[in-house]
Structure 1
Amino acid sequence: MMAMIRALIIEDEQPSREAIKLLGNWEKYGIAEIDEAENGREGLRLVAARRPDLLLVDMKMPEMDGVEFLRRVSAEHPECVCIVISGYDDFEYARTAILSGAIDYLLKPINRHDLNEALAKAAALIGRRKREAGERIDQGIALNLSLPKLKETVFLRLVEDAGGVTPTHLSVIGADKPAEYQVAVFCLLNMTQVRREKFKGDTELFRFAVANLLNELELDGVNCFSFANPKSAREFILVLTLDPARPHGLRPDIEGLLKEGLDRLEKWLHLVASGGVGRPVQSHTQIRDSYLAARDLAWSANLAETAHRPIWAASAAEQGSPPPLIGRMPLIRHGLEEGNAAYAAAVVSDYVAEIRKAGRLSLAAADRLLDDFATLLHELALDLGVPNGWQPDMRSAGHDPDMPYDLTSLKQFESAMQDLLADFADYVRRTVKSAARFHVSDIKAYIDQHYNESIRIHTFTEKYYLSREYLMKQFKQAYGMGIYEYVQKVRMEKAAELLRDPELKIQDVSDLVGFKDKNYFSKAFKNHFGLSPTEYRSKEQNATFLP
């Protein structure tokens, strides 16, 4: 039987999305579900939420283009098969598609034959991968691998609705008999700190301890089995199997059991977590439905209310949208270009203060905002001329790049934002400095050649990515005067030289040394030499004719 395939079309133009849906022979290739996204950011969120097998990606989109989207997907969801779509026959786009592992590259306007040929190729690859996944489970049974590992593999396939699970697999893990299932999700809010401090950075030992603690939860008629979600580092999944033989109408206190799990995590491992549980389902084929509901609840935890305490989400709180982050980027850029990192940091603090005033930031939104901020900073780095952009390296701030940020409160969220900004500013400063090494004599040489132009300090702070104060201090130490004083000195000396030419009018001299106002030039000249330009010219001419 052909495995069911989920597809996601990421294209900003609705007519193009409709054309793709009309031209594709979706049923023929086993593609049963088709979702849509208008841009790369929305696409990333749907990839995480819906777990599609196949992505059809346009390269030119607002907010996040196809290039950045493919980079993120290949790193975070390498299992996805991609077909790239573009209205431009551009080698760079084709090269990006190849490097990201895209299975095909289609040019607009898309024709039916090319699209279906690509869909056939993608469906064949996805089907082969799903069959191989089932075969790996069979091999595990044949090799007598540990039952918990097999159980984890099978339940994970069911949670992801990824196919490849057979009746034999269910029989081996004891899931072949009638039973009711419920899935809970725990999101660990400070796992990076606990893993580092209590487990010396050993991820496997940390995950084993968490799973073991949750597996020991006890309630009559309920069997608990938990495991880390490999697709989401913060998540632990707990599958509850409810004994159908319990007295009719008697429902176990699942919520009480799971709240006990939250308390145990805090008491024994000092882990702060949020949790939620999905509705009961009557078959293993519906486990994903219960998981999705539980996940939405756990990730809805409000960081404005957690205050480092465990939180149980009995119902999804009203989400609301945090203020747009992209609107703050010009202010952050301005601060960094002016060498004023404190100003850029204040912009971030003001942004978090606005969220705090609203009183709501879900864990899901916080994680998403941090990812968006990193992406926006990467794009800013490219804009500032950093050849390969920027990727966060938070090890200097004590953060493991393979682990999620600790987010037990809004305060920790703000700290993560500020750490990203500080790492970005430091990296760009070092990178730009290495490309354009700073020498204070370069500023002097520039002034000597461009004295007749409008000279601003930010010309140099932008070029060398150094603060205004630092540049002015370095220049004064080297030449005994400030940058503006030196500009004035050069202009006055050049003006004095030009005044010796009787053919040049005072206005001409003023223009040639960069003054737009003749009266202002005359005052500046007299302030420097103690004589007006006319008096200076007369004195120089008289000195020339003396015997």
Structure 2
Amino acid sequence: MRLLIIDDEERTRELLRKHIAWEEIGITEVQTARNGQDALNVFGQWRADIVLCDVRMPKMDGIEFAKRLRWTDATCKIIFLSGYSDKEYLLSAIQLKAANYIEKPIHLETVRSAVEKAVVQRQEEEDRIMTEKRLHAGYERSLPFLKQDIVRRLISEGTSSEIAMLLSSQHSLPYQADGWFTVMAVSLYWTPAQLPEDPAFLQESLLHQLNELPLMMSLGALCGFDAINWLIVVLPESYGSSYRNSRQVLDQLYSELKQMVNSQIKLYVGVGEPVKGLQHIHRAYRTAYEAGNLNFYNDSQNMIFVDALGQHQAFESDREQLKGYRELLRRGEVDEAYTVIEDWASRALLCKDLDIIRVKDVFFQLLLVTLEVAAIEGIAEQAEDEERRYIWKEIDRIPTLLSLKRYVASFLESFRKVASHENGHATGKMREVIRYIHTHFHEKGFTIGAIAEHVTLSETYLCFYFKKQKGQTVKEYISEVRVEKAKELLREQDLKLYDIATRLGLADANYFTTFFKKYTGITPSEYREKHTK
């Protein structure tokens, strides 16, 4: 800790500075000043933790100095030294929260003891402040997850006693049990190039941002992700599709949500039936989820309200049509096979089945037939279980019926190429894909979509084709190319990490470090040190 000695007598200053073993009691730095004005100048460059200050000094006395110090520093410990036991000075010392008041003549042991006590007090205060900061930071970090837990309990069909337990904690749930509530259910879809390996990190980031959103706080909203990774927002009050029912509030919230996520993430929102009473929030959640699923049949991003649900029925596959589809492919009648996919999509649109997994499974069956015939005809290898899982994972990430239809239809490309005798150019096409990646991977805006456009393939078919030919995804190959280039650049000692990140097409040095360590197990600096000795 730092100690400042203020006294107009040089002999006193030097006596205190030199003849007490300050290090033994935790004082590591000592400076002196000859009056209050001089001391304020010292404080401008060097802040002390403890001040030993004479009361009566020329230019600025100790009391005036302490008053001015307290304007900017409430924590510094002040110990007054005085040859006068004047009650006025004692009262001022108390008002200025002085740590001690020592009368002259000075006894070194008395001063040492007073400063040692001030050191202990200051350390205890610092420890308490640090503990409070850590607790506050920990609480702030955990608050979004506490709220998410509350949301998950509210949207489950809890008993009245469980709801009562939630209400008993006014700190965590400041709602009236019999109030009105509205639920928004939001599904998030990433573009293939931006798809995170693990959405948990992004979900955590979104929760923190949402909890800091002024509109969310002013509405008293709670949010969290449910078991199927939909973002659920619970709003006190009743909101509906008409502006008489305060729709503008939901429009504003939806707009701010879209601004918060980047353009690579699409949001599809369903707004449920307003309910009265906490115990019915699970019903509002269910209807919000159903309304959100209607977005599957609408290719634009929208907010759909519960009153748009209307009639819907189960959409199921037709075995006879599947057999017919298989025969069309066997005969090379690709256009007719495409018509079957179109017909199924039209039928799905009429049914508006709210079980989207069931709808996707029907189209998955069409896709499996396509792959089966492609293998029989020698157009592609037999699809393994791993490949089927990969394709289902791709289908699961498709947000709309139109996108699903296009995805399934894109697998007919290989049949078209056989029909037009283009299949022999597969090797050349692969070479062009790889050449394009090596030439452009460092450019801003480089995406899988750009590669697909260059080689005149759909993005979906390119991903399937590349994985089939090379045994790894396009994204994995691009990462591999970047890692190898990074290793080459790291051998150049004069290149900074930021420069290397730029040459790789990465955002900044921090992201480059994270990226490089993920694929190599060591940081760029560690790699450079190891390979440039």
Using structure 2 for the length normalisation, give the TM-score: 0.39
Structure having the higher Rg: 2
